[in-house]
Amino acid sequence: MKRQIPLAIAFICGIGMIIQFFIPHPVSRQTYEEVLHWQIIVGIFMMVIAVRSLCVVHIDKIRRKREGWGYSFVTLFALAFTAFVGIGFGRGENPLFSNLYEYIMVPMMSTMFSLLAFYMASAAYRAFKARTAQATLLLVVALIVMFGRVPVGERVVPWLPRFIEWILMYPNMAAQRGILLGVGLGMIATSLKIILGIERGYLGGG
């Protein structure tokens, strides 16, 4: 029963969502909206579990004085302080909570994304080695796109930004659509395996 009941729930919910998608009836739409409300409730419990897991991991790291345990202390303090401000003073027009987001969170996210550019350039240098004709073409195009995305590229070659836009709109978009089609087919196959009970990894076993 411990396996049959979850499998039955997954089958019924999966078939119900498929029917709802292909039959745009008011009843099916109302059912879908109700399921979205359930998802929000389940997401709240998932957040509680995630916060607990975060605290357990970092408290254990601090207790054992593992490498980087100071960052764990900062993480827990930031979590507790932000929760205190949000719960104690509310989010709406509270300037303190808004300042925490605008002057701490946003600059940190910008810093992380700016660092990603260097990692991407390093990964591209290691991956795009001209061993074959396809790799050489990919390397040349990547260099052209990176050069045209900086201001100096437009100054040196005025028509380069328009050429890069053409690359992104046609060859790049065609490749992205092919990848998305493959991802979509993979999602459909995985969903069918879960609905039909073939894939049972979410039950905690084979």
Q: What is the model's pLDDT at position 184?
A: 93
CB-neighbour burial class of residue 17 (10 A; exposed 0-12, middle 13-18, buried 19+): middle
| Mean pLDDT (whole number) for 6-16 | 87
For 116-159, how does the pLDDT look when each residue is reduced to its tens digit (9 = 90+)?
878 877 777 776 666 778 777 877 888 888 888 888 888 888 88
User: Would the pTM count as exceeding 0.85?
Assistant: no
Secondary structure percentages of the chain, helix, strand, coil, to 5: 85, 0, 15
Q: What is the model's pLDDT at position 183?
A: 95
Measure the CA–CA gap between 127 and 147, rounded to whole angstroms.
Answer: 18
Share of the chain above pLDDT 90, in %: 25
For 169-202, how does the pLDDT look when each residue is reduced to its tens digit (9 = 90+)?
999 999 999 999 999 999 999 989 988 888 887 7
Q: Which two tokens stand for residue 106?
A: 């946003």
pLDDT band at 23 (very low <50, low <70, confident <90, very high): confident
Determine the angle formed by the axes of helices 26-63 and 69-89, rounding to 10 degrees: 130
Measure the CA–CA gap between 194 and 13, rounded to whole angstroms.
Answer: 11
Q: What is the model's pLDDT at position 144?
A: 87
